[in-house]
Amino acid sequence: MSRQDGRAPDQLRPVKITRGWISHAEGSVLVEFGGTRVLCAASVQDSVPRWRRGSGQGWVTAEYAMLPRATNTRNDRESVKGKIGGRTHEISRLIGRSLRACVDYKALGENSIVLDCDVLQADGGTRTAAITGAYVALADAVAWMRARKMCPGDPLVDSVAAVSVGVVKSTPMLDLCYVEDVAAETDMNVVMTGSGAFVEVQGTAEGAPFDRRALDELLDLAVAGCEELTLHQQEALGR
């Protein structure tokens, strides 16, 4: 079963995590999953949203976007259209929820961290690359805060990574690139903690509905993929 770029079905694309890619942010990472390139910037704010004030607890949120020419044909800017599309909303919410799974709000204190994930070049798996990279940016921002004694404790209770899996021409495959994603009958995004538990499982029958066995095979691939991505994150962080 050969893939267009010669990978084995259970093989990730080359992963590259570059820390400190922009100078202003408290944490910043350029993450690459093959041709997918996402710039993740973590911004620390010493305040929390209104509904959170006085709770002694912090907040983590995320915004995802694509540059107009990250894709093969140009997309109009959402700022020009004057509204954010459903897909953008959905992915921003997913990234935020995923990262909050490894955060202890009390240890963070009444501070916020915003994770901006901007896709500079897209080749499938942009949301999973964003989550994987954003965790590293988050870790750097947390280190920055702790060096300044902004947090009452250690807000990071685990790590988080994500990968896409899918059934392409009846074969379950790991980390789909764009052409595989388009051809996939079933597509699943899986977010896991470094300790091996699930944070999100989002499976969608793009073509035909799928049975329990396909679901299980995809989960097996994803578990292995997330483990490998966790190692990449640890290595990038020098652990």
Q: Choose which of 11, 18, 202, 234 interacts with its own copies (CB under 8 A).
A: 202
Contacts with its own copies, 66-105, as mask; x by CB under 8 A: -xxxxxxxx--xxxxxxxxxxxxxx-xx---x---x----
Question: In 98-133, which positions are buried (b, 16+ CB within 10 angstroms) versus exposed (e)?
Answer: bbebbbbbebbbbbbbbbbbbbebbbbbbbbbbbbb
3-state secondary structure of 228: helix
Give the nearer residue to its own copies in terms of CB position, either 8 or 68. 68
Can you tell me the distance from the alpha carbon of 17 to that of 235, in angstroms, rounded to the nearest whole number?
A: 9
Residue with tokens 């750097």: 140
Residue 189 beta carbon to its own copies: minimum distance, rounded to whole angstroms: 10
Q: What is the DSSP letter of 156?
A: B
Q: Choose which of 9, 16, 18, 35 interacts with its own copies (CB under 8 A).
A: 35
Residue 199 within binding range of its own copies, rule CB under 8 A: yes
Residue 140 within binding range of its own copies, rule CB under 8 A: no
Beta-carbon contacts of 51 under 8 Å, excluding residues fewer than 6 positions away, are none
Query: Are the beta carbons of 133 and 40 closer than 8 angstroms?
Result: yes
**Contact footprint for its own copies (CB under 8 A):** 22-25, 28, 35, 37, 39, 41, 43, 45, 63, 65, 67-74, 77-90, 92-93, 97, 101, 114, 116, 118, 120-122, 158, 188, 192-193, 195-205, 208-212, 215, 219, 223
Q: What residues are designated binding site for phosphate?
A: 87, 125-127
